[in-house]
Amino acid sequence: MYSYNDFDKNFVRQRVNEFRGQVQRRIDGVLTEEEFLPLRLQNGLYMQIHSYMLRVAIPYGTLNSKKMRQLALISEKYDKGYGHFTTRQNIQYNWIKLSEVADVLADLAEVDMHAIQTSGNCIRNVTSDHFAGAAVDEIEDPRPVAELLRQWSTGHPEYAFLPRKFKIAVTGSPHDRAAIAFHDIGLCAVRNDDGEIGYKIYIGGGLGRMPRIGRVLSEFIPKTQLLNYVDSIIHVYNRFGRRDNKHRARIKILIDELGLNEARRQIYEHYNSLKNESRLPSTDIIKFLMDEFSPPDFSTAKEHDLEKDFIRSLSLKNWAETNLTSHRDPNHVIVSVSLKKPGATPGDATAKQMRVLADLAQQYAYDELCVSHEQNIILPHVPKEHVVKIYNKLDEADLATSNIGMVSDIISCPGMDYCKLATARSIPIAKQIATRFCELKTERDIGPLKIKISGCINACGHHHVGHIGILGLDRRGVENYQITLGGDGTEDAHIGKRTGPGFSADKLMEAIETIINVYLNDRKDRNETFLNFYRRVGLSPFKLAIYGLPGTAYF
Amino acid sequence: MSEWVIITNKGFSSDEWIGRSVIEPTNILSDNFGEEQLKKSHLKLGNDFQVETLKSFLPYLNAISIEFPSEKDGRGFSLARRLRQLGYLGVLRATGHVMVDQYRHATQSGFNQIAISSKLAKRMPEPYWQQQIDGFTPSYQEKLQSGSTNSYSSKKNILIKEAKNIQNLNLTNTGLVGAVVTKVIRWTDWSFSFRVARPKNFRFQSGEFVMIGLPGNNGKPLLRAYSITSPSWDDELEFYSIIIPNGPLTSQLQHISMGDTLILNPKATGTLLLDSLLPGKRLFMFASGTGIAPFISLIRDPEIYEKFEQIILSHTCREVKDLNYGKSIVETISKDPLIGEYADRVFYYPTVTRETFHTKGRITDLLKTGQIFQDLQLTPISRDTDRAMICGSIGLNKDIKAFLETSGLKEGARNHPAEFVQEKAFVASLNPIGLGRSF
C-alpha cells in the first residue's frame, strides 16, 4: 500500500494552510462567494440542504486500520457518529460546520488523508477495482497507475478550472468492476503481442442526463507514456470543451460533437509533441510505485477447508455464498462486508462499525481495507482460517448482512434527504425495496440482481447501469420514478432502457415486484440470471406486465 | 492609478507595456509585420485561440497576453503552457479576472505576469498577492517531471521570474552565445540531463565537447566543459551532468528549468572522433561515470554504423542507478527511425563496482580475465579488426590504454588516424573524473 513520504505529507499540510487562508480571504471580503465557490469545492466542501457536507478522498478506495479509525473519530468529533461511503469510493460527512472544516482537514492530514479535488470542475479522486491486488483474473494491480494519476492530477495548475468535473477509473482485470466505460477516461490493463503490460484507453463515457458508453481511444498505451497521454486528452478538453452550457460541458459531449476521429486527431497532435520530449512517468517512478503496492506475504497462511466451517453454521454458509470471492492465493478469500442491511441507509457505517472493520483488518487481514463503488467495504486478503472469526465479529457489529450482488445490495445516492440537487427521495425507496424482498424471503431465489437508484437526473446512484435502474424525478411537485432495465457497468457495458412512463412512490414497489416476478416465472432455470433473461427476452414482457396491454395502460 | 495593475514576483507594479502597439493574431497572420515591429508589439490573445498557428512568429514576440474572462475559465492556463511548449520565451501575461488564489496556477502554467483591473486590485490588495508570491507550493507535476520518487522541490513558484530571454544576457562581443533550455530530466539525486535549443550556425562532430555554463556571481560567465550527448544532426543539444555539492556551477545548474538561458562557447573540440580511427570492423567504447556522454552522442549518429559493423559500449559505474541515463538512451536506439535498423549491432555492456549486479567489477579486470568477451560471445581484441575509444577516470584511461597497447593497438589523432583514441585533454588538465562532469 502506498505510504506518504515527506513530499506528500508536506503537500497535504500546505493545502490545509491554503484552505485556512481561503476561508480567511472570504471572511475578509477579498473573495466573493462566487469566487470562493470553486475553491471550496476543490477542498471537498459542499453546501447541502441542512448543512455543509465534506467529502473526503479515499484514493482508489484503499484504507488501512489507522485511517479507518481516524474516519471513525472524525465522525464522532465533528459529525453525528457515522459516515457515508460513496459510489466513488469516498466518504462523506453530512453534518459539518464551516468553522470546523480546517480542523477536520488537519485531522485527516495526520493520517495522510485529505479532501482535495473530491468536487469541483477538476480532476476528481481516481477510482479503481475494489478487488485490486486480490482478484484472480488480474493482469496487474491497477493501483500503482491509479496512484500515479492521483499524484499527477493533484494540484495540477493547468486543470483546476476545467469546463466540468473529470473522472478517471483504472482496472487491472478484464472483468471490469470499476465501471471504466462510464468515466471520462477509463484505463484497463492489457498485454500487447510482446507480452508487455500497458493500458487500453476509453474516453467520454459517463452517466448523468446524457449517458454514454466510453469509446476506445487507444488499444494500447505503454505505461511510460500514460501521463503524457492522459495529459493530452485533458489539454484538448480544457481548451475546447463547451463552457456555455453546464449540461453539455463534459468531455463526452465534446467527443460527440467532434466525432471520435477528429477528437483523436487533436489529442494525438498534442500527444506526439509530448511523447517525443519525454517518457512520463519515468521507469524509476513506475518501479517505485509498483514496489509500494507489492502484495503481502501470502505464504504464511495455512491451508484451510472452509466447507468444514460451513457444516457447523448454516448462516455462515449463507453469508459465504454471497460475500466471499475467490482470491488469487488458494489459502485466502476476499471478504465483502455489506453496508446494505435492509432498512438501513446504503453505504452508511457508524463509528463503532468502522472501528470493528479496522480491528478485523489489522488482526486478520494484513491491515488492508477497500471501499467499493457499490458502497460496501472489502477485506481484500483474508486467510481462510480466519473467516469464521471474522464472520462472528461482523455479526456482533450488525455487519454480517449476506446480500452482496443481491436484490437488497442497492446502490443509492443520498437523494432529497440530503442533497440540494435531488428531485426525489432515493434512500427511502432503497430501504423499502430491500425490506420488502427480505420479508418475502425470495432474495436467494432471485439471485444476482443489481438495483441502482438516483434521486435526480445527475445519476449519482448510477441507475443507468443497474440491471434495474430507478430514477426519481419531480413531476409538477410530485415524485415520479422511472424504471430502466438491462443496464450493465461491467466490461459488457450497456445503458439501461426505459420501460415507459414513471410511477409514483406508492406504485413503484408493485412495479419492481412485478418485474422480478416476470423473471422468476419465465426464466429457463436458476442459472439464467436476471440480466441474461432480460437480454434474451427484451423489454416487452416486462412492459406488458407493468403497464398492461397497450390502450389499457394508465398513462 | 492606471486601469490595470500588474502583478509580478515583485508584487504590484505599473504597466511597462504602455506604448507597445497592441495587435491581434489576425494582424500577424494577414499583415506583413517585420521582426522589429513584432518585437515592439503586444499581442493580445483570446483564450479560445489556436496558438499552434503562431508557432513561426513566436521567436520574434516579446509580449503576449491571454484573456481571462472569469475566475472559472481555465482555458488560459492551457494556452500558456502550450505557448511555452511551442518555444515562446518572452513575457506572458494573464489579463482579466484572475483571483489571488490562482497565482500558483498561473505561474506554474507559464505566466510571468498577471494584469487585473484596478477595481479588482482594490478588493484583492497587494499584501494578499504577496502572501502567494512568498508562499511555497510543492508541485506533484514538477516532482514527476524530474523523474524523482521523493525529491523535495525547494524551488518557489519558479516560472514567474524575470522572463529570461537571450537579449537579457549581454553576450555581445564575447564570442559566447545563449542557449535556451528546453528540457531537464533528473536521473538520480545526483545526476540529470538537459537539452537546449541549438544556437544558430553552431557546428560540431558527434563525440566533441563544448564549454557551457551560467553567469557567475561576479557577472562573468562560469563555464565548464561538457560533452554533447546528442548527435551532430539533432536540432537540440543534450548534456549529462552530475551534481557536485557546493560545486560553483553544478549547484546552480541543477536548478535550471525550461526557458532558462545557458551560456555556450560555440567552439566544439575533442579527440573522440571517428575520423581519428583507421577503418575497422568493431569499435570498442570504454566509459566510466559521466564519461559515457560522448559515446551517447556517437551511437546516435548513423555515421558510426557506416564505419563499423559492431559497436561494443562498456560503461562502468559505482551504483546501478548511475547506469540509467545511458541505458535509457541505448534502449531507444531500436525505436529510432534513423538508426533503428542497426540496433542489433550495438553490444551494451554495463558493469557496476559497488553494488550487486550481473556484471560486477572494473572493466579493466573484466578485459584482462576475458569475461567481457565471454559474456558477449565475441573474440578478443585484435589490431586487425578492432578500434577503441576511452573516456573515463584517469585510472581507467591509463589502464585501458596499457591493455590496448599490449594488444598492439596504437593511439591516433585527427591528423594521424590509428587504432584507438582517448579523451585526455580533459582528464589531464581539467577534470579528474571524466567528460561530462563539472564542478
User: What pLDDT does residue A550 have?
Assistant: 59
On the question of a cis peptide bond just before residue A281, with omega within 30 degrees of 0, the verdict is yes
CA distances from A357 to A352, A516, B48 (A): 9, 34, 51
- Domains, chain A: 6-110 (3.90.480.20), 134-290 (3.30.413.10), 298-396 (3.90.480.20), 411-547 (3.30.413.10)
With CA atoms as reference, the chain B residue closest to A243 would be B73
Distance from CA of B406 to the nearest CA of A (A): 41
Phi, psi angle pair for B426, to nearest 5°: -70, -50
ipTM, 2 dp: 0.92
Q: Are A120 and A38 in contact (CB under 8 A)?
A: yes
Q: What is the pLDDT of residue B169?
A: 56
User: How close are the terminal C-alpha atoms of chain A, in Å?
Assistant: 54
The verdict on a CB contact (< 8 Å) between A159 and B150 is no
Question: In this structure, what C-alpha cell is assigned to residue B49?
Answer: 485561440
Mean pLDDT by 10 residues, chain A (555 residues): 88 89 90 91 86 93 97 97 94 90 92 95 96 97 97 95 97 96 97 95 94 97 94 97 93 96 96 78 88 94 94 94 96 97 92 98 97 96 97 97 95 88 92 93 94 93 96 90 96 95 94 96 96 96 86 45
Residue with cell 540509467: B324
Give me the helix-helix angle, A251-258 and A260-277, nearest 10°.
Answer: 110
Q: Are A93 and A54 in contact (CB under 8 A)?
A: yes
To the nearest whole Å, the CA of B324 is away from the closest chain A CA by 9
CB B259 within 8 A of CB B89: yes
Interface of A with B in 161-200 (CB under 8 A): 161-162
Could you tell me which residues come within 8 angstroms of residue B290 by beta carbon, excluding any fewer than 6 positions away?
B191, B240, B241, B242, B433, B434, B435, B436, B437
How does DSSP assign A395-450, residue by residue? Answer: HHTT-----TTSTT--EE--GGGT-SS-SS--HHHHHHHHHHHHHHT-HHHH-S--
Q: Which amino acid is at A457?
A: I
Please check whether residue B73 touches A, CB under 8 A: yes
In whole angstroms, what is the distance from residue A470 CA to residue A451 CA? 8
**Cβ-based contacts of B55 with chain A (< 8 Å):** none
> How far is it, in rounded angstroms, from Cα A144 to Cα A153?
14
Q: Hey, are the CB atoms on B72 and A5 less than 8 Å from each other?
A: no
The interface residues of chain B toward chain A in range 306-345, judged by CB-CB distance below 8 A, are 324, 328
Q: Is B145 on the interface with A (CB under 8 A)?
A: yes
* Residue A293 grid coordinates: 503496492
Q: Do B104 and A157 lie within an 8 Å CB cutoff?
A: yes
Q: Which residues of chain B have pLDDT under 70?
A: 1-2, 147-170, 172, 218-219, 424-439
Angstrom distance (rounded) from CA A317 to CA A288 = 41
Taking the CA atoms of residue A259, residue A260, residue A265 and residue A267 in that order, the dihedral angle to the nearest 10 degrees is 110
Contact B346, B330 (CB under 8 A): yes
Partners of residue B74 in chain A, C-beta under 8 Å: 158-162, 238
What's residue B437's pLDDT? 39
Torsions phi, psi for B156 (to 5 deg): -80, -165
- Which residues in chain B have their CB less than 8 angstroms from residue A154's CB? 140
Residue pairs spanning A and B at CB distance below 8 A: 124
Pull the grid cell for residue B290: 559521466
**Chain A residues with beta carbon closer than 8 angstroms to that of B324:** 284
CB contact under 8 A, B140 and A34: no
**For residue A116, which residues of chain B lie inside 8 Å, CB to CB?**
none
- Walk me through the domains of chain B, giving residue ranges and CATH numbers: 4-145 (no CATH), 166-269 (2.40.30.10), 274-430 (3.40.50.80)
Partner residue facing B141 (CB), from A7, A152, A235: A152
Q: Three cell numbers at A312? A: 457447523
The DSSP letter of residue B430 is: I
DSSP conformation class of A102 = H
How far is residue B66's CA from residue B95's CA, in Å, rounded to a whole number?
6
pLDDT at position B74:
97
Distance separating alpha carbons of residues A182 and A451, to the nearest angstrom: 17
- Residue pointed to by grid coordinates 501575461: B93
Cβ distance of B150 and A39 shorter than 8 Å: no
Which cell numbers in the block locate residue B421? 583514441
Residue B66 CB contacts under 8 Å (≥ 6 apart), including other chains: B45, B46, B47, B76, B79, B80, B92, B93, B94, B95, B111
